[in-house]
Structure 1
Amino acid sequence: MSIAEIRASGRAPGIAAAVACITIAGVSLALSVPLLAFAMEARGASGLFIGANTAMGGIAVLVATPLIPRAAAAVGVRPLLFGALVLGAASMIGFAAIEPLWLWFPLRFMLGVALGAMFVLSEFWITSLAPPRSRGLVMGLYVTALSLGFAAGPAILAAIGAHGFTPFVVGAALFGFAVVPIVLIGDQAPRIDRPERGRGVMFFIRLAPVATLAAFTFGAIETGAFTFLPLYGVRVGLDATSATLLGSAVSLGNVISQIPLGMLSDRCDRRLLLIGVAALCAFGAALMPLASASPVAFFALCVLWGSIITGLYTIGLALLGERFSGVDLATANAAFVVMYAAGMLGGPPIIGVSIDLWNPHGVPVATALMLALYAAVALIRTRPTASP
């Protein structure tokens, strides 16, 4: 099914509204991460304090996200999404207005709760409306838009500066602006029934390990590799500016490939495609020590690697939409986000230990091993007697 056929199905406005909402919120998220780090450092916070405060957002996602499907069943998807956007805006204003830094921990928790709810509800909305024949295409469009939003956040911060109240007000305003597409579309959000007892997040993690472990693996690698890739670049001989641009090279790859990958997933077994993505990216990570001898080759490899790795997220979401619907899809989406957040918390320590044990090549080696482990587990789970 093409984009024109999606429009003809009458589902395009609802999909576009949800994509626009989470993309605008993603701009604010991407702006807030460096902004809060800069603000805490300017006020004398230690690296440990900044890291602990950042981790609080991930803890909030792990704690609150399993409750979102039940809350959405009680109050509705649209009202709960509105509430999450308001909570996100209030958190940003709180960071600007509240002086004691220890109070930034509950504020960071609030922001994490808001973001967890936004992602679960938006992704459920998008996946449930996506026509089965083009679910991968829709998820590719969504992830591409979200990637562009993440890229825009730091650019906006660079333009307005990281000092004073202005960047916090801009961040809050972006959350407010994200309400607009949901208001314009009217009350067309999908409904969620109350989840059955025993069919919570852990149930769906066990029931759909290929998809949910893809989220964990991607979260671990996205956060860990992006954190240490610039450091790795410096240690293999790049100057600081060039090393920093390695992350941009990976992000460029993310943007250019998700639609083709999504379309490919509409035409083949998504479980096998996830295994292929992980295996190919493991091979690409293993090539990084060789490619690092040439800056041009290294940057080209990072673009190519980045163009494939985000497929774990895109195809994983499409696989959930293929398997589940209704409240089961909402809870499976919550499981997906929980696993992604768990990966974000676990990835940096794993890669950090690896670079200490093998300096400098611990970064690509640990990345390759995590991807290879996921591919092996997913391959086992694709046996005819196993659940996807």
Structure 2
Amino acid sequence: MRWLSISAAVASISVVGIAIGLGMPLLSIILETRGHSASMIGLNTAVAGIASIAAAPLATPLAVRFGVVWTMLAMILLGAFAFVGFYFAPAFWMWFPLRVLLHLALTVLFILSEFWISSSAPPRRRGLVLGIYATVLSLGFAAGPWLFAQMGSTGFLPFGTVFALVVIAAVPVLAAWRESPEIVAEGGSAGFIRYTWLIPTATAAVLVFGAVETGGFALFPVYGSRVGYSEGDAALLLTMIGLGNVLLQIPLGMVSDRIKDRRHLLLACAGVGLIGMLALPYIDVNWHLMAGLLFVWGGVVAALYTVGLAHLGSRLAGHELANANAAFVFCYGFGMMLGPQVIGIGMDLFGVDGFAWSLALFFAAYIVLLLNRLARPNC
């Protein structure tokens, strides 16, 4: 175990967790109070997915040219300043380029931190290490809404807090610069793209997770307010999702190390995701039932990312891993673009229940894909 390298990667991903966990509900609530529709909020959030798709093929060339550590540090600073920029941008159109800059930086951090941690983890303990990695990411998700509930959506305080935390997270990355891995770019853009289709059960898993996570986090505050919850209560429900992620990622990662075919675990996670969303409209009047459901649901659904990444790593090795991670995050970005739009349109067309129905649609489609692949032994 190269713990210093793992700590650096974990620190960088904590930046992503806090920025998304606090930023998504914060920005959505601000737009909601300004009178923008769910569709427009979803459109602005979907720009994050477009930025991620555009940034994914850039991560490897940037790291080859400037080094992993210096590229990550530059992205940390870019993300920090882009987030603060939302506070100083009064016009709605200004939020679109800021979303692009923020999520370009976060995407590169995702790719390089995953490459770094995969390079540092022994193959037989990959699930455990990725579980630790996902747990810290989930801590960011949990801490973000909790901070939002304490600070609210007015004033500079939430923006300044994210900026300070992001800058502090750069310290362990800089401390581990001597242990950073080298990336050798091979295969060009065609080599990058082919990994999107090479292991579809892994890449589709992260696409679904990206759609559910981004769309759900962005529009859940809107959903909560329309159901009748206060701003703080809705934010605390997001915290329950994050806490489920924190407690379940390491156990599920360890389980994945002991399963011959991780696709069966992915199928179980998608099944829990589908059932949870089908049940949501029937219990949304009871905050405590909602909190319990979302705690379990959030932890299991987040394993789509953890187990999907472990499944990808078990199928590939060596120089292929960087391009495969880029393809993995590329699909995550596509999900980020797709999710908010589908959920926002679903809520505009079908009312408040359209939130859960739209999320259920993603899980159902992925279950069909998994069953099809499992029915074909050679796939």
TM-score, structure 1 as length reference: 0.84
Shift of 1:233: 6.1
* Cα pair 2:211 2:338 within 8 Å, conserved: yes
Q: Give the one of 209, 212, 219 matched to 1:221.
A: 212
Residue 332 of structure 1: aligned partner:
324
Residue 279 of structure 2: aligned partner:
287
Q: Percent sequence identity over matched residues? A: 43
CA 1:162–1:224 in structure 2 vs 1: closer, same or farther (change >3 Å)?
A: closer
CA 1:72–1:302 in structure 2 vs 1: closer, same or farther (change >3 Å)?
A: same
Matches within 5 A, 1:145-164: 145-157=136-148, 159=150, 162-164=153-155
Matched, 1:322 2:314: yes
CA 1:281–1:155 in structure 2 vs 1: closer, same or farther (change >3 Å)?
A: closer
Q: Give the one of 122, 132, 135 matched to 2:123.
A: 132
> Once the two structures are superposed, what CA deviation does each residue of 1:178-220 show, in whole Å capped at 9, x if it has no partner?
2200122232111111121354442111101100100111122
CA 1:354–1:87 in structure 2 vs 1: closer, same or farther (change >3 Å)?
A: closer
Quote the Cα distance in structure 2 between the aligned partners of 1:232 and 1:162: 17
Quote the Cα distance in structure 2 between the aligned partners of 1:356 and 1:41: 14
Quote the Cα distance in structure 1 between the aligned partners of 2:72 and 2:284: 44
Residue 72 of structure 1: aligned partner:
63
Quote the Cα distance in structure 2 between the aligned partners of 1:233 and 1:98: 26
Quote the Cα distance in structure 2 between the aligned partners of 1:246 and 1:204: 36
Larger Rg: 1
CA 1:300–1:77 in structure 2 vs 1: closer, same or farther (change >3 Å)?
A: same
* Cα pair 1:25 1:178 within 8 Å, conserved: no
Residue 182 of structure 1: aligned partner:
173
Matched, 1:301 2:293: yes
> Once the two structures are superposed, what CA deviation does each residue of 1:334-379 show, in whole Å capped at 9, x if it has no partner?
2221212221221233334445555554443443332122122123
* Cα pair 2:211 2:335 within 8 Å, conserved: yes
Shift of 1:34: 4.4
Q: CA RMSD in A?
A: 3.1
Residue 361 of structure 2: aligned partner:
369
1:192 aligned counterpart, secondary structure: coil
CA 1:55–1:362 in structure 2 vs 1: closer, same or farther (change >3 Å)?
A: closer
CA 1:103–1:232 in structure 2 vs 1: closer, same or farther (change >3 Å)?
A: closer
Matches within 5 A, 1:72-151: 72-95=63-86, 102-151=93-142
CA 1:371–1:45 in structure 2 vs 1: closer, same or farther (change >3 Å)?
A: closer
TM-score, structure 2 as length reference: 0.86
* Cα pair 1:193 1:326 within 8 Å, conserved: no
Quote the Cα distance in structure 2 between the aligned partners of 1:56 and 1:361: 24
Residue type of the alignment partner of 2:182: R
Quote the Cα distance in structure 2 between the aligned partners of 1:49 and 1:224: 12
Residue 379 of structure 1: aligned partner:
371
Quote the Cα distance in structure 2 between the aligned partners of 1:289 and 1:36: 25
- Number of residue equivalences: 375
Structure 2 unaligned regions, length at least 5: none
Residue 5 of structure 1: aligned partner:
none
Matched, 1:204 2:182: no
> Once the two structures are superposed, what CA deviation does each residue of 1:36-63 show, in whole Å capped at 9, x if it has no partner?
4566678x68457655443333221111
Q: Which moved more, 1:123-132 or 1:349-358?
A: 349-358
CA 1:207–1:167 in structure 2 vs 1: closer, same or farther (change >3 Å)?
A: same
Shift of 1:282: 1.9
2:185 aligned counterpart, secondary structure: coil
CA 1:180–1:248 in structure 2 vs 1: closer, same or farther (change >3 Å)?
A: closer
Residue 250 of structure 2: aligned partner:
259
Shift of 1:274: 0.7
Shift of 1:295: 5.2
* Cα pair 1:70 1:195 within 8 Å, conserved: no
Quote the Cα distance in structure 2 between the aligned partners of 1:211 and 1:169: 36
CA 1:288–1:40 in structure 2 vs 1: closer, same or farther (change >3 Å)?
A: closer
Quote the Cα distance in structure 1 between the aligned partners of 2:131 and 2:36: 39
Shift of 1:330: 1.4
Residue 57 of structure 1: aligned partner:
48
2:188 aligned counterpart, secondary structure: coil
Quote the Cα distance in structure 1 between the aligned partners of 2:95 and 2:63: 27
With CA pairs under 8 Å and 6+ residues apart, which has the higher RCO, 1 or 2? 2
Residue 350 of structure 1: aligned partner:
342
Quote the Cα distance in structure 1 between the aligned partners of 2:158 and 2:283: 38
Shift of 1:228: 5.1
Quote the Cα distance in structure 1 between the aligned partners of 2:26 and 2:112: 26
Structure 1 unaligned regions, length at least 5: 1-8
